[in-house]
Amino acid sequence: MKSAAGVPPDGERRNISDAAGVVVLGACATWSLITAAAQGGRPEGVLLAVLAVAAGYAAGRVCGALLPVAAPCTSALAGLGLAVAAPHTLPGPQTATPPGHLGAVAALLVLATGAACCAAWAARPPLRLALLALAVLITAGSAALGPLAGFGLCAAVLLCSLAAGHMPRRGVGLAGLVLTTALVTGTAWAIAEDVLPTGLADSLEGQMSGHRVDLWRDALLLAHRDPALGVGPGRFGELSPTASQALPAEARPHSAPLQQAAEQGVVGVVLLAAVFCWVLYALWRTPRPTSVALTAGAALTGLAALATVGNVLSFTTVTVGAGLLAGLATARPVVYEMPVTASTRAWEQREHR
């Protein structure tokens, strides 16, 4: 059923995005079980990640509806606290190397910056300045707590959030985030395939360790071995020559797309991309202001960039935080409930352009 203006009612939009999330997350869990049954392996890591995202998203939807300002503010402070306490208190793989922990710290700070900015846009002007100051504080702290890339991404999220307040069409901004993610993923894939020009390849590889690039290339070799099903979830560490020779032994290739390609084939990569696209679709359809939607989208895009060149999605704290931020940004605060009139319908159409 559509309104007189031809725009689906808010409840229908939310039902579509929620149903899409159930289908995509369910498909991720199901495919990991299928590939594990066919190729062997341990699907528990994928199942735990799916559960963490779903739990975080549900918690964010509930908390964001009841406490639209306090909930994201508390999440930002919690993320900052976990980053300060890292790496020893970060739950994650026992074989994770210090760079892996630093990547998780950067991911937490990026999500915390996004949550603080979302809280600022949901607050009244006097409180908004204080919450933006919290976002600036987190960004400044990221320079000392994590790698330089984390500081750059936190600063990018903050700048995108400020620009989002003046952007009339969220669809354009979200499309830009999709292109950015595709560019980062394509660049990492091109490095692993060794198809870039020599000068550019040397420059990009110089920003990363040669060991990590070797892990990426092992992942591609395993993906080429069985592009349909992969080698089985959780089996990269035992089949990769580079991973087995590392001290301590590596279990992951430090790239979520390449890990999916190696362990779960082309379908696994498509499902990973589908999860990201579902989140952005939910942000596009959310009743929250465009500034909140684009801020959350920018933070989750920063997380996607870190996941492309690191193993940050192996940390349950990070996956829960990603789901939580997405849920907070797509929740409909109860204080926004109002009768559907011509004026409110016009407002909804303007916000969702």
Structure tokens given for 107:
């991911």
pLDDT greater than 90 at residue 152: yes
Letter for the amino acid at 131?
L
pLDDT of residue 301: 98
pLDDT greater than 60 at residue 344: no
Q: Residue 23 — φ and ψ, nearest 5°?
A: -65, -45
Residue 338 confidence class, pLDDT cut points 50, 70, 90: very low
For residue 197, how many other CB atoms are within 10 A of its CB? 8
Q: Rounded distance, CA 281 to CA 296, Å? A: 12
Q: Rounded distance, CA 224 to CA 245, Å? A: 21
pLDDT of residue 249: 61
Say if 3 falls within a structural domain: no
3-class DSSP state for residue 89? Answer: coil
Residue 320 confidence class, pLDDT cut points 50, 70, 90: very high
Say if 85 falls within a structural domain: yes
Say if 337 falls within a structural domain: yes
pLDDT greater than 60 at residue 335: no
Q: Rounded distance, CA 23 to CA 134, Å? A: 36
Mean local confidence (pLDDT), 127-154: 92
User: Which of 179, 172, 186 has the alpha carbon at shortest distance from 293?
Assistant: 172
Cis geometry, peptide bond prior to residue 87 (ω within 30 degrees of 0): yes
pLDDT in tens, 192-219: 998 888 777 777 777 777 788 999 999 9
pLDDT in tens, 20-46: 999 999 999 999 999 999 998 899 999
pLDDT greater than 50 at residue 93: no
Number of domains, the chain: 1
Say if 131 falls within a structural domain: yes
Mean local confidence (pLDDT), 251-266: 93
Q: Rounded distance, CA 292 to CA 289, Å? A: 5
CA-to-CA dists, residue 106 to 91, 136, 187, 212, angstroms: 15, 15, 20, 18
Say if 259 falls within a structural domain: no
Q: Rounded distance, CA 293 to CA 282, Å? A: 9
pLDDT greater than 80 at residue 265: yes
**Cβ atoms of residues 180 and 172 within 8 Å:** no
Q: Rounded distance, CA 127 to CA 79, Å? A: 20
Say if 79 falls within a structural domain: yes
Mean local confidence (pLDDT), 263-290: 95
- Region of 276 (left: φ > 0; alpha: ψ -120 to 50; beta: rest) is alpha
Structure tokens given for 336:
């926004």
pLDDT of residue 207: 76
Structure tokens given for 306:
């870190």
Count Cα neighbours of 331 within 13 Å in the Cβ-side half-sphere.
Answer: 28
Residue 1 confidence class, pLDDT cut points 50, 70, 90: very low
pLDDT greater than 80 at residue 7: no
Token pair 């066919």 in the structure block, residue:
38
Q: What are the residues whose beta carbons fall under 8 Å from the beta carbon of 350, sequence distance 6 or more?
A: 168
Mean local confidence (pLDDT), 295-306: 97
Is residue 183 packed enough to be buried (19+ CB in 10 Å), middle (13-18) or exposed (0-12)?
A: exposed
pTM of the complete model beyond 0.85: yes
pLDDT greater than 90 at residue 321: yes
Say if 235 falls within a structural domain: no
Say if 310 falls within a structural domain: yes
pLDDT of residue 11: 55
pLDDT in tens, 167-197: 878 999 999 999 999 999 999 999 999 888 8
- Mean pLDDT score across all residues of the chain: 86
Residue count of the chain: 353
Which of 78-82, 243-247, 252-256, 306-310 is the least confident region?
243-247
Residue 9 confidence class, pLDDT cut points 50, 70, 90: low
Q: Which domain holds residue 65?
A: 10-196+272-351
Residue 3 confidence class, pLDDT cut points 50, 70, 90: very low
